[in-house]
Amino acid sequence: MSTFFSELAEWFCLAVTAGLGGMLLCKLKNTPGQVRRRAICLMGLWGGFCLLSLSLYWGLAVLSLSCFLTSVYLSGQEMLPVDQKAVLITGCDSGIGHALSKYMDKLGFTVLAGVLNEKGAGAEELQRTCSSRLSVIQLDVTNPAQIREAYRKVVEKVPDRGLWAVINNAGIFGFPADGELLPMADYRQCMAVNFFGVVEVTKTFLPLLRKSKGRLVNISSMAAGVPMGKLAAYGSSKAALTMFSAVLRLELSRWGVKVAVIQPGGFKTNLMGTKEIWDKKQKNILDNLTPDVKEDYGQDYILSLWNYFGPMDVYCSSDYSPVLLDVQHAVSVKSPCALYTPGKGSYVWLCIASFLPAGMFDYLAKGMYSPGKKRTEP
C-alpha cells in the first residue's frame, strides 16, 4: 500500500511540475531575451541538481516549487505599455546617452534629452534624426539654475502625462593616474558631475516621479564595485552614486517608485575626452607635485600613464545594445532589477571583487591594466 501511495505522489508531483512548467514556458515567450535566458539557465541547473541529489519524489516537489516561484518572478517581468511615457535622460550629447535617446524615441517614449550644449553637434543630430516626441533641453548637471530651468521645461512639456522616469547618465571619466598623483580638483570635478549632479537632478525631479510612481535609473560603472588602479577619483564617485541609489531604493518604495542602478563594463564613449585635454591634465599633475612625490614616482612613470589605457579599445565595445536593453528593462517592466551589469565581464568581476579574498583579488587585479602601446588618441 505504501508503495502505491508513493508512486501516486510521484505521479502527482510530475503532473504538477509539468503543469507549472507549461505555464512557465508561456510566460517566458513574453519575457525580454536577457531575462528569459537567465530563467531557463537557472531552472535547468536547479532542476538537474534536484533530480540528481534527491529522491524522485522530493526532486519533483522541489522542482515544482521552483517553477512556481520562477513563474511569480516572471509575472513581474512583463513589459508595461509605452503609451508615450515621458523620460528625462541626462548627458545626451554623445556616447551612451545619445544612443539611449534615439533608442527610447524609437520605442515610442517621449524623450527629454538633457545636453551640455543644446547648440552642439550631438543635440542637433538628435533633433534632426528623431521624432517630434524628442525634445532637447539644456542641462549641465553641475549648474543648479539649469536644473531648475529644466524642471520648468519638463513640467511645461508633459503637463498631463507627467514624468515616468529619470535616467541619470551624465558623467566624466577624469585622468587615469595613481590616487596620490591626482590633484584635488580632479576628485572634486568627478564628484561634482558623477555624484552631486545626480543627487541634485534626482532631488529636483523626485516629486514628479512620486506622482507617477515611476522609475529612477542611475548609470554607474563596474568601477563602483571593482577596485581598479588609476581610477581613484572616478571609481569613488561612482561608488557613492551606487550607494545613493541603494538607499533611495529603500526610501522611495513607500511611494511605489522603483530605483535601479546600471553598472556597465567597458564601452567606448567620449567620457575620456580628447588628447589635448589629457595632455593638459598630465602637465597639471607634473606642475603641482611636490619634489619628493615626483622623485618617488619618477617623471617617466607619470608621462607613461597615458599608455595604461592603450589596450582599452581591445576590451571595450562600441555596441551599446546591452546597456540600452537593460535600461529599457529597468524603465518598462513591472518589477525591475535593483542592479544591472551589462558588458563583458562586468558581473563576473563584481562577484570576484565581492567574494574573493583581498590578497587573491589584488593579485588578479594587477594584471588587469598594464602599459600598452603608445597611443596618439584616447
As given in the structure block, the three cell numbers for residue 186 are 580632479
Is residue 216 classed as helix, strand or coil in its secondary structure?
Answer: strand
Residue with cell 564628484: 191
Q: What length does the chain have?
A: 378
Catalytic residue among 103, 234, 320, 369: 234
CA distance 235 to 216: 21
103 CB neighbour count, 10 Å cutoff: 19
Residue with cell 581598479: 228
CA distance 177 to 159: 46
For the question of residue 234 being annotated catalytic, the response is: yes
To which H or E segment does residue 217 belong? strand 215-219
To which H or E segment does residue 286 belong? helix 275-288
Residue type, 124: E
> CA 197 → CA 139, 204, 219, 232, 326, distances in Å?
10, 11, 13, 19, 23
- The residues, ordered by sequence, that sit 6+ positions from 256 with a Cβ below 8 Å of its Cβ are 213
As given in the structure block, the three cell numbers for residue 155 are 513640467
Give me the long-range contacts of 195-200 (CB less than 8 A, separation at least 24). 195/237, 195/240, 195/241, 195/244, 196/142, 197/90, 197/141, 197/142, 197/168, 197/170, 198/141, 198/168, 198/170, 198/241, 198/244, 199/244, 200/141, 200/144, 200/147
Is residue 81 classed as helix, strand or coil in its secondary structure?
Answer: coil
Catalytic center residues: 234
